[in-house]
Amino acid sequence: MKVDNIQDLEAKYIINTYSRDPGATPCLVRGEGSYVWDQNGKKYLDFLSGLAVNILGHCHPEVVEAIKKQASLLIHTSNLYYTAPQAYLAEALVESILPGGRVFFANSGAEANEAAIKLARKYNPGRYKIITAENSFHGRTMATLSATGQPRYREAFKPLVEGFDYARFNDLDSFAGLIDRQTAAIMIEPVQGEGGVYVAGSSFMRGLRKLCDREGLLLIFDEVQCGMGRTGKLWACENWPIKPDLLTVAKGLGGGLPIGALVADEAFSTVLQPGDHASTFGGNPVTCSAALAVLNLVREEQFLKEVRGKGLALEDKLNRIAADHPELIKETRGLGLIMALELKKAGAKEIQRKCTEHGLLVNAIGDHVIRFLPPLNISGDELEEGLEIFERVIKEG
């Protein structure tokens, strides 16, 4: 594929919704394992994983084989017909978290969350409000944008979808205080990703479950970013452990292909009926085949044990870097292989730029937070290599 003048073509033909720096953003053309290469042949260690999507790195052979095999047989049919990959993936997802439940397939995390919102509203007519957390991120459709607890994303698109209230994350009283007779559900990310990698506390999670049970509310966990083994458990909520009524997943599920899913517990699995909701591409045979290959690899306990070990190594190294640079770094936080480092003053975007120059891809969330989302199967040596690059950038200032 010809890759000359890509930046010029993008500037001319693509709506500019991503703040890329033409002088510092590579055009990536190839990936293998934990590495990607740009059009000039420069190699980068990927600590971003396509924003938590490439959880098995790039072009994992078993995922590639699943895609190739299914693409040679049947690419798309629509949901007017049965397909085997969709059914097999649904079985694996349900049995992994909410046995007895059912799945709705979509194409993204926002669409999975949209389905959860619709189900919660239909379940108990007259109760339509959903409480989410401040600093949360649930998507960019109008409903999921309205659910997102960050005003900077919502302001330009008012009037929003009504019925969303925002409570303080990790503050059970704040959530309880917003419940009224029209409240249908509480929706949270067990680990807030786009909001800066904040982890829910144990008493908070247990309290939410009891609160929802007492008030007759659905408890929805958005695990679009923190699910699929990212925290060292297949599902982040297993760290407490708390079972939701609805769970949404996307990003890492397809290992690089677009897929999202809403998993509903048995008591809520028949709320949505034919005509209530649909998705033309949802449950596509190729994406489901890829997702099943990913899920079969990630859900192995030995694999998850190794993720937990690598997560502890990442956390330990970041803590040591923070301790060596108290004038620069405020704190580190996270769980498993979703970690963040917060700066005391603005500079995250410059650190991201310098890391890219040195061959390491990380992510700046705003001006103060660097996020780390390496592939779950990254090796110990690769993890150490990336952290050495990062520490070098920090030392250079």
| Mean pLDDT in residue range 243-272 | 98
Q: Is 131 helix (H, G, I), strand (E, B) or coil?
A: strand
Bond from prior residue into 258 cis (ω within 30 degrees of 0):
no
Query: For residue 182, how many other CB atoms are within 10 A of its CB?
Result: 11
Burial readout 380-391 (b: 16 or more C-beta within 10 A, e: otherwise): eebbebbbebbb
Whether the CB-CB separation of 224 and 147 falls below 8 Å is answered with: no
Burial readout 127-166 (b: 16 or more C-beta within 10 A, e: otherwise): bbbbbbbbbbbbbebebbbbbbbbeebbeeeeeeeebbbb
- In order of start, what are the domains of the chain with their CATH numbers? 6-59+301-396 (3.90.1150.10), 74-298 (3.40.640.10)
Q: CA 101, CA 265: separation in Å to the nearest integer?
A: 4
Q: CA 233, CA 244: separation in Å to the nearest integer?
A: 15
Residue of 47, 104, 105, 137 with catalytic role: 137
Q: What's the whole-number average pLDDT of the chain? A: 96
Residue of 165, 222, 245, 265 with catalytic role: 222
pLDDT tens for each residue of 31-87? 999 999 999 999 999 999 999 999 999 999 999 999 999 999 999 999 999 999 999
47 belongs to the catalytic site: no
Is residue 6 very low, low, confident or very high in pLDDT (cuts 50, 70, 90)? confident
pLDDT greater than 70 at residue 285? yes
The pLDDT score that the predictor gives to residue 7 is 86
Those residues whose C-beta lies under 8 Å from the C-beta of residue 177, and which sit 6 or more positions away, are 167
The pLDDT score that the predictor gives to residue 20 is 83
Which tokens is 129 given? 């409000």
The pLDDT score that the predictor gives to residue 137 is 98
Is residue 11 very low, low, confident or very high in pLDDT (cuts 50, 70, 90)? confident
CA distances from 37 to 24, 32, 45, 359 (A): 14, 9, 9, 10
Q: CA 277, CA 269: separation in Å to the nearest integer?
A: 13
Those residues whose C-beta lies under 8 Å from the C-beta of residue 252, and which sit 6 or more positions away, are 49, 52, 53, 54, 55, 227, 228, 229, 230, 294, 298, 376
The pLDDT score that the predictor gives to residue 185 is 98
User: Both ends of the chain: CA-CA distance in Å?
Assistant: 38
| Mean pLDDT in residue range 190-218 | 98
Amino acid symbol at 199:
V
The pLDDT score that the predictor gives to residue 3 is 65
Q: CA 174, CA 167: separation in Å to the nearest integer?
A: 5
CA distances from 48 to 74, 122, 252, 371 (A): 32, 37, 12, 8
Predicted model pTM: 0.96
Say which residue the tokens 């799945």 belong to: 103
157 belongs to the catalytic site: no
Q: CA 207, CA 176: separation in Å to the nearest integer?
A: 10
The pLDDT score that the predictor gives to residue 1 is 56
pLDDT tens for each residue of 136-186? 999 999 999 999 999 999 999 999 999 999 999 999 999 999 999 999 999
| Mean pLDDT in residue range 286-295 | 98
Is residue 2 very low, low, confident or very high in pLDDT (cuts 50, 70, 90)? low
Residue of 105, 165, 233, 251 with catalytic role: 251
The pLDDT score that the predictor gives to residue 8 is 87
Bigger pLDDT: 22 vs 314: 314
Is residue 397 very low, low, confident or very high in pLDDT (cuts 50, 70, 90)? confident
Bond from prior residue into 241 cis (ω within 30 degrees of 0):
yes
pLDDT greater than 70 at residue 345? yes
The pLDDT score that the predictor gives to residue 5 is 83
Q: CA 47, CA 34: separation in Å to the nearest integer?
A: 8
Those residues whose C-beta lies under 8 Å from the C-beta of residue 159, and which sit 6 or more positions away, are none
Q: CA 218, CA 201: separation in Å to the nearest integer?
A: 19
pLDDT greater than 90 at residue 204? yes
**Exposed / middle / buried, residue 195 (Cβ in 10 Å: 0-12, 13-18, 19+):** buried
Half-sphere exposure of 22 (CA within 13 A, CB side): 8
| Mean pLDDT in residue range 336-361 | 97
Q: CA 281, CA 78: separation in Å to the nearest integer?
A: 7
